[in-house]
Chains A and B, each alone.
Chain A
C-alpha cells in the first residue's frame, strides 16, 4: 500500500467512530423523523404511509396556526426585543454611562442562571389566582374575585409569557455583546472622541459596524431558540388555557408523547426545522445587506 493509501486508511479508521456516533445520534433521527412525517404510527406495529396528510392536517389545524402565531411573536420579541435591549444595555455598561456597571451587569445576567422551570414556577406563584400579586391586586381593587383577565384572552394570553421571555433571556445577549464590545480597541473610541464624535455617532459609526457579525449570530440563536421554545412556556402555562399560549413545540410534544401520534409529531418537528431554516435564510439576507452597507 502506498503512503497516501496508508494515510487515507488511517484517517478513515480514526474518523469512523465519530462519524458512526454522529450518524447514530444526529443523522439517523433526522432522517427517521423526516420519513416518519409521511406516516401514521402509534409506536406499535408498522408505520402506515399517508403521504402529505400529516402536513395538510397540521396546516389546517387552528391550534397549530395559533401556536405558529405565538412562536412568531416569540421570534419578534427575541429578535426585536432581547437583542436590541441586550445591545443597548451592553453599550451603556461598556461606555460607563451608569455608575455601578458591574452591579447592573450581574443583576441583568442573574435570571439566566436560574433554571427555566424554577423561573416559570416563580412567575406562576406571583400571578396565579392564589398568588401574591393577585392577592395584592384584590386588596387594591377591593374585589375578592379579581384575577388577571389577560391570561384568559385568546389574543393577549401570550403577552405575560413574552414579558418573562424578554426578562429571562436579555441578560445572555447583553453579556455576549459586552464581551465583543470589550474586544474593540479603546484607541478607536478615543480617536472618535478626539475627532468630536457624539455618543450617537460612536454607537452607530464606530461600535455597531464592528458588531454586525455578532448581531447576526445572536439573531440566528434567537430564531432557532424561539422556534423550539418549550420548557419555560410548558412549565408556566402548559399551553393553556384553551391552547391560548401554546407554541409549536408544545403542540408537537402533546401529539407525539401524549397522544402517541409519532408520525404527526415528526411532521411537526420537520416543520420547525423548515421554519428555522427559512427565517435564518432571511436573516442572512439582511446581514449581507448591512455587511455591504458598512463595508
Chain B
C-alpha cells in the first residue's frame, strides 16, 4: 500500500513538473559552427504592400552580405509594437535587437539599462553620418540606436501643376495662403490635405514647425524646464494659426475624423493643392504618383507667420529611428548585432533604401536613378532651418492631453489659450523635464 502511494505521488509530481521542465527548453540554442542567431523585434507594417516589399529587398541584401548571421524576426507596428517592447522590457526579456526612437518615445526602455550603449561602436563610424543624426540620445551622451535617417516632420508638399491651373503661386505669408482658400475650394480642390484622427499629426507635422517659428529651440528648451510656460504667446500664437486655418476651411473636410493616409491619397490623386505631412511620405508618394508628377511636386515649408520670433521659415527635424541591442549581448553576439545595426542605417542598407525613396542619415551620393522627389527631400533636410519636434522632447503622456486639446480647439469647444493652459497644467504637474 505504501509503495503504491509512493509510486502515485512520484507519478503525480512528475506529471506536474513536466511542463515546467519543457518550458525551459528555449534556453537551448542549436546553432551551427559559424552561424550566429539573433532574435529581433522589428517595426514593419506588414499590411502595407509598399513597406513590406521594401523590407524584403532590404533583408535580401542583408542575407547576401551576412550569410553567417541569422536573425529571427518578430514584426509589429504602431502602438502594438510599443506595448510589446515595454512588456518585454518590464519582464527583462528584450530580444537581441530592438527598434528604437532617439527621443522620449522609447525613453522608458532605453533609460532602463536594458539597452546597450553603443557609443563605442558608433564613434568609429560617426563621421559617415549627417551631424543631426549623431546627437547623443542619453543624459550622459549614450547612443542606444543608430538613426537610419534624419526626419523632417513638417513638409508642405505642393502640387505646382494645380497651382498653375488655378493661376496661383506658392504663398509667401499666412494671409496669402488664406486668400487662396476660396479659389482652391471653388475649383473643387482641397487647399491643405491633412488627417488628424489620431491627433499626433497636427502636433508632430504642423504645430512643432509653428512653434519653431514663433519661439525657436531656445523657447521650447525654456518651456521644457519651466523657465517659460506653454501659456506664453509663442505657443498660443502657434495654436491660433491652426484654429484660423480650420475656421477658414483650409484643411481637408472632416480632418479629425480621417484616418492617417486619407490625406496622402487625396494629394496623390491630385485632389489637394498642398499636403502637410512628414518627409517620410516621400517613398509612398513616389510609388503612388505618376512619374511626371515627381517633377511638379515641390517640397516647401509653411508660409511666413506674422510673428516669427524664433526660427523664421523653420520646419521640425528629429534624428530618425534605428536598431539598438540588448544590454546583455557581449562578444561575438554583440558584434553580430552591430553588423545588422550598421547595415540597416549605414551605407549598404541606405543604398537599398535610397532606391525606395528613403533619405538616409548616412552621407552618400544619391543614385542617379532616384526620383527627383527624393533629391528635393535631401535638399529640404539639409537646407531648411529646423526646430524640435514637440513629442520628441516632451513626455508622451502629455500628448494625451495636448492632442485632444488641439482637436477640441478646432471644434470650438475651447480657445487656443485654454488649450495651451490645459497642456501647461499637465506639464507643470507631471512632465519629467520639469
Contact = CB atoms under 8 A, between A and B. Distances in A.
A16 B252 CA distance: 62
A258 B82 CA distance: 8
Contacts of A43: 86, 89-90, 108
Interface in A15-32: 16-17
Interface string B256-274: 1111001001100000000
A128 interface: yes
A44 interface: yes
Nearest to A10: B8
Contacts of A63: 404
Given A17-B16, A128-B259, A254-B400, A44 B253 contact: no
A116 to B, nearest CB: 16
B411 to A, nearest CB: 5
> Interface majority SS on A: helix, strand, loop or mixed?
loop
A interface, size bucket = 20 to 34
B233 interface: no
A107 B12 CA distance: 51
> Interface majority SS on B: helix, strand, loop or mixed?
helix
B262 A128 contact: yes
Interface residues of B, number: 38
B112 interface: yes
A241 B265 CA distance: 21
Contacts of A277: none
A242 B400 contact: no
Q: Which of B254, B397, B404 has the most CB of A within 10 A?
A: B254
Nearest to A246: B404
A240 B254 CA distance: 13
Contacts of A151: 254, 257
A243 B401 CA distance: 10
Given A129-B258, A238-B198, A241-B197, A257 B86 contact: yes
Contact of B108 (A130, A144, A240, A260): A260
Given A241-B407, A254-B400, A258-B400, A146 B253 contact: yes
Contacts of B408: 242
B262 A240 contact: no
B413 interface: yes
B404 A240 contact: yes
Interface string B222-260: 000000000000000000000000000100111111110
A129 B90 contact: no
B434 interface: no
A229 interface: no
Given A44-B108, A129-B262, A147 B253 contact: yes
B90 A44 contact: yes
Interface in A231-273: 238, 240-243, 254, 257-261
A147 B257 contact: yes
Contact of B188 (A16, A128, A144, A146): A144
Interface string B82-123: 110010011000000000000000001000100000000000
B254 A242 contact: no
B199 interface: yes
B33 interface: no
A265 B82 CA distance: 17
A107 B188 CA distance: 41
Contact of A240 (B185, B249, B407): B407
Nearest to B92: A44
A293 interface: no
A39 interface: no
Given A147-B257, A257-B83, A260-B86, A242 B404 contact: yes
Given A13-B12, A258-B400, A242 B253 contact: no
A13 B9 CA distance: 9
B413 A242 contact: yes
B372 interface: no
B171 to A, nearest CB: 21
B396 interface: yes
B396 A259 contact: yes
A6 to B, nearest CB: 8
B86 A129 contact: no
Contacts of B9: 13
B407 A242 contact: yes
B164 interface: no
Contacts of B112: 44
B79 interface: yes
A12 to B, nearest CB: 11
A16 B16 CA distance: 10
Interface of B: 9, 12, 16, 79, 82-83, 86, 89-90, 108, 112, 185, 188, 196-199, 249, 252-259, 262, 265-266, 396-397, 400, 404-405, 407-408, 411, 413
30 contacts: A17-B16, A42-B108, A43-B90, A44-B108, A128-B258, A129-B254, A129-B257, A129-B262, A146-B253, A151-B254, A152-B257, A152-B411, A154-B413, A238-B198, A240-B198, A240-B199, A240-B407, A241-B196, A241-B199, A241-B404, A242-B405, A242-B408, A242-B413, A254-B400, A257-B79, A257-B86, A258-B79, A258-B400, A259-B396, A261-B397
Given A129-B258, A147-B257, A238-B198, 13 more contacts: A124-B259, A128-B259, A129-B255, A129-B262, A147-B254, A154-B411, A240-B198, A240-B404, A241-B196, A241-B404, A243-B404, A258-B396, A261-B397
Interface of A: 13, 16-17, 42-44, 63, 124, 128-130, 134, 144-148, 151-152, 154, 238, 240-243, 254, 257-261
Interchain residue pairs A-B with the least CB separation, the first 4? A129-B254, A147-B254, A43-B90, A242-B407
